[in-house]
A = this chain, B = another copy of it.
Amino acid sequence: MCQLLGMNANTPTDAMFSFTGLATRADEHKDGFGIAFFEDRGLRLFVDQHSARHSPVAELVKGYPIRSDNIVAHIRKATQGRIALENTHPFMRELWGRYWVFAHNGDLKDFRPRLHATFRPVGETDSEHAFCWLMQEIAKAHAGMPAIEELSNTLSELLPQLHRHGTFNMLLSNGQALWAHCSTNLHYVVREHPFGAPVLADKDVMVDFAAHTGPGDRVAIVATEPLTRNEPWQAMRAGQLMTFTCGEVATRQCAEMAR
């Protein structure tokens, strides 16, 4: 299995701390890693088929404070598809003039839904095939970019169709929201002012967030396993879809969404 990390913030925030936590788990998950940073509509996507433990690309990400409002990261333990760059998550496509990124933890056994539209996998993984199907069905469901809430409704109809074919823990973002679907294992925490000083679960690293953040800052973190020891991580339920916008669980549209 792989490990997922997602972040959604109301203020562009760097992920050096959380990514350092994720990368310590790369010994077991050594078949590549990737991280996508949205900066408004723009996207940086770093992928490497080498372990996040040794990759110069991972060193860059750990040391360069890229400030992003939506992040999707993945470290891979190959189950389907060779160890190759084209099989490395997250995957990216464009729809309605926005980039969409997707990362998957799990295994969809013998499930290859028909792809009749324009989204086709480049690599060989079940994950990229599922992503292409998801993009195809989202594109069919709406004439143009709908509101986040409508997209969440569409996803809540589509995701069970994937989930019934196997394990499907997933992160998806279009730069406006972060969607997390839990099949077996996904946790989240919302950090709000005052942030305190979380301690990484696997490494003696502590960051005093209070020193780096302002009073209105808020950030939601989603990860396969809790990344820190002293924060109130909550486990998602099997089959649960959560939408994060503006650094919190989306229950309403927030002002920033209107942009």
Contact = CB atoms under 8 A, between A and B. Distances in A.
Interface stretch (A93-101, A214-222, A244-252): A93-101
A54 interface: no
A54 to B, nearest CB: 12
A12 to B, nearest CB: 11
Interface in A82-108: 84-88, 92-99
A49 B42 contact: yes
Chain B CB within 10 Å, residue with most, of A41, A57, A94, A95: A94
A121 B57 CA distance: 27
* Chain A interface, DSSP helix/strand/loop, else mixed: mixed
In the complex this chain forms, how many copies of it are found? Answer: 2
B84 A42 contact: yes
Interface in A49-103: 49, 56-57, 60, 63-64, 84-88, 92-99
30 contacts: A39-B84, A39-B85, A40-B85, A41-B85, A41-B86, A41-B122, A41-B123, A42-B47, A42-B84, A42-B85, A42-B88, A42-B123, A43-B86, A44-B46, A44-B85, A45-B45, A46-B46, A56-B60, A56-B64, A57-B60, A57-B64, A94-B119, A94-B120, A94-B122, A95-B118, A95-B120, A96-B120, A99-B122, A118-B118, A118-B139
Given A40-B84, A97-B120, 4 more contacts: A42-B122, A44-B47, A57-B60, A97-B122
Interface of A: 39-49, 56-57, 60, 63-64, 84-88, 92-99, 117-123, 139
